[in-house]
Amino acid sequence: MKIDGLRALEVLDSRGMPTLKVTLEADGRAGSFFVPAGASTGKAEAKELRDGGARYGGKGVRRALAQVTGLRSALRKREFAGQAEFDAFLLKQRLAGNSSLGLSGAFAHAAAAARGLPLYASFGKGRKLPRPMVNLFSGGLHGGGNMAVQDILIVPLRARSFAEAMEQVWRVYQAARSLLGPRFDYLPNWVADEGGFAPRFSSVEQALDLTVLSIEEAGLKPGSAMAIAMDVAASHASKITIATLESWAGNYPLISIEDGVPEEDWAGWKALTKRLGGIQLIGDDFFATNPERLRRGIRERCANAVLVKMNQIGTITQTLEVIAIAKKAGYRTVVSARSGETEDWTMADLAVGAGAGQIKIGSIARSERLAKYNRLLEIEAELRRVQ
């Protein structure tokens, strides 16, 4: 693939914060990628480059933009065999995480377009739609501290298609919306960073009880047709013990817990996995989509699943490497969005092409979330036509 052009633009994400849009041309075709950003970030993540100063409260990305465009002359007319070679070039430049991912993602789009392939085909041979884990109630840093854990999510278990899964999720979401008014001083059109409702719960148990009731009101059986997942984000929470998690898992149809103990508590992760390893235990801040941290976790029998966020590691190739390592070890993979997202839908294609099996986008509100869900609906329809 020969690079023909490169440009970058400072744009805004779903939280109104600046981020990068990078556009790259290869073999006469252009591809663009918007870089996401997180609110709850792990210490081991690839570091963003922000401007500092007064402009945008120091959150501007003009310095990162300059890193990207500073490579224009070095890249112009240069040829790369594929994504891996391009990303290897980026790693040698020692770029900030947002600069590197912007370039890597834009190359993926341009290369797929130049080859006449759907984007998911450039990520692997996977063609199955992922199971969605959908945000229903938000807390922690996403919901303004209204409950101790960061997210309570719903997970369709028996849907025969992605489209059917989304319809079931819609029913639960609408049931929750109707239940909120009589129980809380809360308007249901108020939603948190990822589109979930964020009333001020008196306890996590109250939120779990309301989730079960919403599933039932939607005409679905909790634990059979629809289960519950939880993102604790323990590095940003407090007073949630393994015994507490064990109690919730025993009393509710809870099939997945993310970051149940803090990110550097390796002994805690071993203990959690030993006691609750029968359900899905996802490492997010713990693994930070980092191949070496994941390998260590596998060796030490910590967790049994990894959350995959492209901007935690900085390139498409490293992201795919993490998915491959996890699969080889029998760990599950969940491709995930960030709290600061855009209309970019690359992660939907990544989840399909890499055969991730699960995806965590947010709720079914806010257009930056729906862009990904709608892309998955398009992919499902396209794959059915091919078959």
The reply to whether 309 belongs to the active site is: yes
SS3 368: helix
Would residue 206 be called left, alpha or beta, if left means φ above 0 and alpha means ψ between -120 and 50 degrees? alpha
Tokens of 11: 């744009």
Place of tokens 């036509």: 385
Q: Contact 170/365 with Cβ under 8 angstroms? A: no
Sequence letter at residue 147: M
List CB contacts of 327: < 8 A, sequence separation 6 or more.
333, 355
How far from 87 is each of 84, 151, 336, 346, CA to CA, in Å?
A: 5, 33, 21, 17
296-306: burial string, b at 16+ Cβ within 10 Å, e else: ebbeeebbbbb
List the catalytic residue out of 25, 45, 48, 194. 194
Which strands, in side-by-side order, build the sheet including 29-34?
A: 3-12, 18-26, 29-34
List the catalytic residue out of 21, 25, 258, 309. 309
d(CA 300, CA 95): 31
Name which of 71, 68, 69, 79 is nearest 27 in CA terms.
79
Q: Contact 43/127 with Cβ under 8 angstroms? A: no
Tokens of 76: 């112009």
The reply to whether 194 belongs to the active site is: yes
d(CA 379, CA 122): 14
Tokens of 125: 């041979």
d(CA 103, CA 86): 9
Angle ∠(69,71,72) on CA atoms, nearest 5: 70
User: Which residues belong to the active site?
Assistant: 194, 309
